[in-house]
Amino acid sequence: MSNYNSTETIEKLAATIGENIYIEVAKWHLYLSDAHLHTLVAEKAYHLLESKSVSEAKVIALLEEIPVTLGKGKTRLTLKDIIPRECETKLLDILEQAQDN
């Protein structure tokens, strides 16, 4: 039963992240759902929720763990490198709210 709850929680979290968090490239916003990164972020973030340890430092560390390949492998950056600061803050808010629920 808890596996079902965790799957449902991750799916809801992924949807929220995908709609609100974006990569910014040349002033264009590529939302994580369009980049197919929202589920990966939600899965990693779920572990923070489980341990009730959501913090700004841990969210930053989470974003630094996720590599994003650009130009068919020519360049590799972390998600932290290509997400604007306001999206980092919004992600923290989303996770804090999810933790409270």
pTM of the model: 0.90
Give the CA distances from residue 42 to residues 51, 75, 80, in Å, rounded to whole numbers and listed in that order: 14, 24, 15
- Looking at residue 101, its pLDDT comes to 81
Q: What is the pLDDT of residue 91?
A: 98
Q: Which of 82, 97, 96 is nearest to 21 (CA)?
A: 82
The rounded percent of the chain whose pLDDT value lies above 70 is 96
